[in-house]
Structure 1
């Protein structure tokens, strides 16, 4: 069994600039996205950038862009599955 970390466990790692990137489906966030310049298909995989507290900070079209955006804002991204 894979251990599960809560938002509190994750933020307790001690790095306030630690963020995580995870895959999401467009259908799960399409109503929350305001400025979309591309057409999204409901089953399209996107990459969400989350703060250590679990708050979704951004949604990107690809994993590399999500990591680059985090690093550009002096954050330390990690991947979760």
Structure 2
């Protein structure tokens, strides 16, 4: 999908958050029960899962036909 600059500038915060929502999920390192883990979030920031390491989190995302992105 290609959006023009003027289209991107006119998007609301909510619309921008939904952009790519069904194509991308984000990984974020977190402490879970005192151990390093990776939380998985939808493009709009909604938490949708967690995994003990980044590789497992990325695999879970790909199983749902989305592309993983790392947030740090």
Structure 2 length-normalised TM? 0.70
**1:60 alignment counterpart:** 51
Structure 1 stretches (4+) deviating beyond 2 angstroms? 7-12
Q: What is the SS of the residue equivalent to 1:46?
A: strand
Structure 2: 5+ residue runs without aligned partners? Answer: 1-12
TM-score, normalised to structure 1's length?
0.63
Is the partner of 1:53 in helix, strand or coil?
Answer: coil
- 1:15 to partner: Cα distance: 1.6
Alpha-carbon RMSD:
2.0
1:25 and 1:10 map into 2 onto residues whose CA distance is 28
Task: Name the residue aligned to 1:73.
Answer: 64
CA distance in 2, matches of 1:65, 1:48: 11
**Higher RCO (C-alpha under 8 Å, 6+ residues apart):** 1
Q: How many residues align?
A: 59
**In the alignment, which residue of structure 2 is the partner of 1:15?**
20
| Shift, 1:79, TM fit | 0.4
Unaligned runs of 5+ in 1: 1-6, 27-41
Structure with max Cα Rg: 2
